[in-house]
């Protein structure tokens, strides 16, 4: 017997209800678009109007905010949080318990380490590497030439690389 994958969908003003992921009607009623081959772990919360493209794998207990857009072939680790209106490019790796702020943009093929925190409206360019437990401040831009070492802190509104 195949086990159901249960996710939580927003049913109004931060109220969540558990649904079977196979319930296409429940997804459609909330404006959630989901591509083929998406794998989502149990206990994940998906906000209204989120877009999750094909080949994405999302761990258990992940939070995806309203209007967030997750590109093709993305991996999101257990317990991670993706803020409202964040945009995650294709091929991105997001480690366990990482936090991506509201409106942040993560470029294609970037790597965000375990426990890293990306501030609201920050921009991580294509191929950038943000180490475990690193902190990227509000509105900061991280270039694709330099990486951010584990535990390093980048102040708000800073351009690095």
Is 160 strand, coil or helix?
A: strand
Sheet containing strand 44-46, strands side by side:
15-20, 6-12, 44-46, 63-64, 81-82, 99-100, 117-118, 135-136, 153-154
Which run of H or E residues covers position 28? helix 24-29
Cα–Cα nearest to 112, from 84, 93, 96: 93
Q: Is 84 one of the catalytic residues? A: yes
Q: Cα 60 to the chain's mean position, in Å?
A: 13
Q: Tell me which long-range contacts 153-161 makes (C-beta under 8 A, separation of at least 24).
A: 156/119, 161/125, 161/128
From 78, 84, 150, 158, the catalytic residue: 84
- Residues identified as active-site: 84
């Amino acid at each position: 017997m195949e086990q159901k994958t249960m996710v939580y969908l927003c049913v109004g003003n931060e109220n969540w209800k558990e649904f079977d992921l196979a319930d296409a009607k429940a997804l459609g009623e909330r404006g959630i678009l989901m591509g083929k081959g998406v794998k989502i772990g149990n206990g994940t919360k998906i906000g209204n109007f989120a877009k999750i493209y094909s080949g994405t794998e999302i761990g258990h207990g992940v939070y995806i905010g309203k209007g967030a857009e997750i590109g093709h072939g993305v991996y999101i680790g257990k317990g991670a949080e993706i803020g409202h209106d964040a945009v995650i490019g294709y091929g991105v790796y997001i480690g366990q318990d990482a936090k991506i702020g509201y409106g942040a943009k993560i470029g294609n093929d970037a790597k965000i380490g375990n426990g890293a925190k990306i501030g609201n409206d920050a921009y991580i360019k294509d191929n950038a590497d943000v180490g475990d437990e690193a902190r990227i401040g509000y509105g900061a831009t991280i270039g694709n030439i330099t990486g951010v070492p584990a535990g390093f802190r980048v102040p708000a509104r800073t351009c690095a690389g």
